[in-house]
Amino acid sequence: MVLYAKDVDRVSGFYCAVAGLVTTDRGEGHVVLTLPGPQAGAWELVVHAIPAAVAEGIRLTSPPERREDAATKLVFPVEDLARARREAARLGGVVDPAEREWSWNGVRACDGHDPEGNVFQIRVADATTP
C-alpha cells in the first residue's frame, strides 16, 4: 500500500506510534513501514512524498479535516484501542471516541484519521464477539 503525504516523517511516525508499525527502509521522499515481529515483510505501507507541485496546492487544517470520500481505508491490528487513541491525539490525528467503537466478526474496531486527514481503522481481537 502506498500513502501519499505532504509531511512524510510526520505521517510515518504517526503510524509507527498508533499502529505499531516499524520502519524498514527510508529513502529520498519515502519511508517503508511494516508490521513488527513474525509478520514483518508480509505487508508494507510506503509513505511517499506528494510531488512538490501538487503539494503546494494542498492546504492542511488544524485539526485536520477527515477525507471520508477516499476510495480506500487503511486497517491496522493494534493491541490496545485506548493507547492508540491517546497516541493519535498526541501526534495530531484522531481515533474516534470509545462510544463510536463497534464489534463484529471477532474484532472491536474504531475509525480515525491521521494528521493529514487520511482515514484509517484500528482493530483489536474481541473474544466476546461471535
E-only strand ranges, the chain = 2-5, 22-27, 30-34, 44-49, 74-77, 94-95, 102-104, 107-113, 119-125
- Tally Cβ neighbours within 10 Å of residue 10: 16
Q: Which three cell numbers stand for residue 38?
A: 513474525
Cα angle 111, 60, 92; round to 5: 50
pLDDT grade, residue 47 (50/70/90)? very high
Backbone angles phi, psi at 70, to 5 degrees: -70, 155
Is residue 40 scored above 70 in pLDDT?
yes
Q: Which three cell numbers stand for residue 9?
A: 516523517
Which CATH number, 3.10.180.10, 3.90.1150.10, 3.30.1360.200, 3.90.1300.10, labels domain 2-52+66-125?
3.10.180.10
> What are the C-alpha distances in Å from 25 to residues 6, 48, 101?
18, 12, 33
Is residue 60 scored above 70 in pLDDT?
yes
Contacts of 57 (CB under 8 A, 6+ apart): none
Model pTM? 0.87
**Residue with grid cell 510506503, as numbered in its chain:** 46
Is residue 130 scored above 70 in pLDDT?
no
Q: Which three cell numbers stand for residue 129?
A: 464477539
Q: Each residue of 69-97: pLDDT tens digit?
A: 887 899 999 999 999 999 999 999 999 99
